[in-house]
Amino acid sequence: MKVAIVGAGPAGAHLATLLSQNGCEVLLFDAREQPWEKPCGGGVTTKALREFDFLRKDQSNKQLVSTVRVIGASGREVSVQPKSDFAIYSRAELDRLMRKRAIDAGARFICARVARITNSAGQWDLKTQDGAVYTCDFLVGADGATSKLRPKLGVEFAPHDFFYGLGWHIKTDRAADWDATRVDIKYLRSGTGYIWAFPRTDHVSYGIAAKYQERTPAQLKAELLDLIELQLPAVAREIKMAAHHSTPHATFYGAMIPSLEAASWDRLKVSGDNWALIGDAAGFVDPLTGEGIYYAIKSAELLAEAILTRANDYEARWRTEFGAEMRRAAEMIPRFYRGSFAGQPFTERVIQFARHHRGVRDTLNDLIAGDQSYLGLKQRLFKSLLSI
């Protein structure tokens, strides 16, 4: 079977690797000749490292984390030490690693932007921006959060199905400025979302993500700069003097992140006759945290199994594997970010309890590691609190 995959990010590259290793002819398209520092925190959870061998074995490109500091809007904080590896990747490095695996496995990489797709008699024609035409039997959209293939295949997301994230990749003098084994997560003063400071091997990714259109980019920049000011005052000054654009030490980025609402998960359908969507293009991102790298790779695995076994059951596979979990995360958003508990914001209470109670701290640790399901979260927290 000849499969065309549009997009060579983690989802597309991993699918290309698996299908090529199993005898399919694979065309892997990407508009970018070389992987780039895509807007992303680059956080790869313990769960992802445990499940995906090639990430666990990779020694050179990731920054391992030994402390996760969670900070409330009030400044109250708690630190947890991940029980197993938790890593931060530069996205240029992660994508380079994954694209190389695909090419080594035999996928044909085509550097071109796919501009048009047409289907006739069970065959797909893909026309690239430079006018070339390619044919295939099976078409995969792995072209990211703002996928152009998605609407052409009849799948639509609404503005409320997104977060918007922005930030700066900041070069620092690591020895002097930064503990490179610590990540910071800070909840917002109001609204849905959070701030992160994730150290990579040669820079720090500072970012803020919030429900799309809930706050203006200017408001998001101001709140993120307050944290940068505390941690790297000279860089914060430089960014302000550059009117919040890029500077010699800080590269600005901004991008959409899928965060599907519960009802959108219910009606989501990401495959049909000889086509499928994976990764961000399918909306497969944890709606509460914005974690998408795990789901990009996992959905590629599930689609590869469905194609290779000719079972035509991709839809059932992703729903069984993580559909209910994602829907639950979407349901929890209002309570988690905007709710209150005993007169305080919910996030403040979580930090307060975690500071004083080992069971709550362990639950928070497992949640960050990707090892605590949202489906069982309420029960576990309740049990922990009862044993105070």
| Residues found near ligand FAD in the complex (CB under 6 A) | 6-12, 29-32, 38-43, 113-114, 142-144, 148, 165, 207, 209, 255, 257, 279-281, 285, 290-294, 296
For the CB of residue 293, give the shortest distance to ligand FAD in the complex, in Å: 3
Q: How far, in Å, CA of 334 to CA of 339, rounded?
A: 6
Q: Which is nearer to ligand FAD, 82 or 144 (by Cβ)?
A: 144
Measured from the CB atom, is 332 or 368 closer to ligand FAD?
Answer: 368
Report the first-to-last Cα separation within the chain, whole angstroms: 59
Please tell me the distance from the alpha carbon of residue 58 to that of residue 129, in angstroms, as a whole number.
35
Report how far apart, in Å, the C-alpha atoms of 100 and of each of 48, 125, 292, 314, 368 are.
19, 26, 21, 26, 29
Q: Is the dihedral of CA 230, 171, 181, 98 positive or negative?
A: positive
CB of 285 to ligand FAD, least distance (A): 5
CB 258 within 8 A of CB 292: yes
Amino acid identity, residue 280?
Answer: D
Q: What is the nearest approach in angstroms of ligand FAD to the Cβ of residue 330?
A: 16
Whole-angstrom Cα Rg for the chain: 21
Nearest residue by C-beta to ligand FAD? 292
Least distance between ligand FAD and beta carbon 43 (Å): 3
Write the burial class of residue 248 (CB in 10 Å: 0-12 exposed, 13-18 middle, 19+ buried). Answer: exposed
Nearer to ligand FAD, 14 or 360 (CB): 14
Q: Give 334-342 contacts, CB < 8 A, sequence gap 24+.
A: 334/192, 336/288, 337/187, 337/188, 337/191, 337/192, 337/193, 337/194, 338/191, 338/192
Shortest distance in whole angstroms from residue 85 CB to ligand FAD: 15
Q: Which residues pair with 174 in a beta bridge?
A: none
Nearer to ligand FAD, 38 or 69 (CB): 38
- Closest to ligand FAD by CB, 297 vs 381, is 297
Q: Could you give the CA distance from residue 328 to residue 248 in angstroms, rounded to a whole number?
A: 42
Least distance from ligand FAD to the Cβ atom of residue 159, Å: 15
| CB nearer to ligand FAD: pick between 11 and 367 | 11
Q: How far is the CB of 30 from ligand FAD (least distance, A)?
A: 4
Q: Which is nearer to ligand FAD, 85 or 348 (CB)?
A: 85
